[in-house]
Amino acid sequence: MNESIQKIKEGVIEGRHKEIESLVREICKTGISPDKVIQEGLIAAMNVVGQKFSDGEIFVPEMMVSAMTMKLGLNIVKPLMTGKAGAPKGTVLMGTVKGDLHDIGKNIVVMMLEGAGFQVIDLGVDIDVEKVVAAVAEVRPQVLGLSALLTTTMPEMKRVIEELRARGLRDRVKVMVGGAPVDAAFAEKIGADGYGSDAVQAVALVRSFVGH
Ligand code: B12
């Protein structure tokens, strides 16, 4: 792996929040693809952090510092991913479901979609069914993306789909779901149109939905 990417990865794992911005800024100057910095540096680091947390090697405070460090890095890469010329290829509404505050993965999906030329409206986190459905009615996106990181909040995805159906909106929008505990079988069971295991798959899914 590229030495600078390795440094970024280690920086996030170790929560070196004071250094991360300059590290990311430096590597971006070399002309490296922002996707690579995100996938092999920032995302790869959070995968390691997640595993360490699951294994009991680190606890919530360390996890939060790493998450914050990752976000600082993402903010530097973001302007490089977006602002590409041309009309948006389609509109995607994204949000993390009710009761769930995890937004790192969702934010990465948002950035990758923006980088791929889609207009993304990000509803944020802890979004209740009513708000999602109202936004679908108002914005008329081609795709709705829902994220959940807690097994306890996954049922909210089903509620959104049921409510869209009840309001006669289901046929107007493709629904994709994602987040660590979600899988393709769950997506199918709740009647979603697709599941993506990472941000790259999210982009591929949206492309397949809107035909770009
Ligand atoms: C960082 C983190 C936090 C941070 C969140 C910071 C933030 N702003 O997001 C903080 C410390 C706040 C936190 C809090 C909690 N957390 Co937490 N957290 C994590 C951790 C370590 C990493 C999550 C993460 O950011 N991963 C990195 C990103 C890049 O991956 P990702 O989210 O999966 O996203 C990728 C894909 O899934 C996909 N994707 C994501 N969304 C979408 C959407 C669509 C449409 C598509 C197509 C794709 C897609 O693309 C993304 C990019 O590749 C995980 C552990 C883990 N291994 O996942 C636990 C974890 C999710 N947390 C957990 C828990 C229990 C909690 C708390 C309840 C802890 C507590 N006791 O307070 C609270 C809950 C707060 C709440 N109400 O939401 C558990 C969940 C267990 C479960 N089975 O439900 C986990 C799994 C840890 C564990 N092993 O126990 N957490």
Residues 69 and 168 in one domain: no
Burial of 131 (0-12, 13-18, 19+ CB in 10 A): middle
Closest ligand 1 atom to 64 CA: 11
| 212: CB partners within 8 A, 6+ apart | 89, 90, 117
pLDDT tens-digit series, residues 129-179: 999 999 999 999 999 999 999 999 999 999 999 999 999 999 999 999 999
Residue 170: DSSP 8-state:
G
Task: Output the domain CATH number for residue 184.
Answer: 3.40.50.280
Residue that is last in its domain, among 18, 51, 81: 81
Count of domains for the chain: 2
Residues with CB under 6 A from ligand 1: 43, 46, 49-50, 53-54, 60, 63-64, 67, 99-106, 108-109, 145-147, 149-152, 176-181, 196, 198-199, 202
Task: Output the domain CATH number for residue 32.
Answer: 1.10.1240.10
What b/e readout covers 180-210, taking b as 16+ CB neighbours within 10 angstroms? eebeeebbeebebbbbbebbbbbbebbbebb
100 Cα–ligand 1 center, Å: 9
pLDDT at 115: 65
Residues 77 and 95 in one domain: no
pLDDT at 61: 86
Q: What is the pTM of this model?
A: 0.83
Whether residue 59 is contained in a domain is answered as yes
How far from each other are the two terminal CA atoms of the chain, in whole angstroms? 32
Are 41 and 32 in contact by the 8 Å Cβ rule? The answer is no
Residues 131 and 199 in one domain: yes
Nearest CA to ligand 1 atom 42: 178
Whether residue 116 is contained in a domain is answered as yes
Whether residue 61 is contained in a domain is answered as yes
pLDDT at 85: 46
Nearest CA to ligand 1 atom 10: 64
* Pair of tokens at residue 61: 């405070």
pLDDT tens-digit series, residues 47-98: 888 788 878 999 878 988 898 898 899 889 878 876 554 567 899 999 999 9
d(CA 141, CA 184): 22
* Pair of tokens at residue 129: 């069914």
Residues 193 and 103 in one domain: yes
Closest ligand 1 atom to 196 CA: 47
Which residue range(s) make up the domain with 33? 3-81
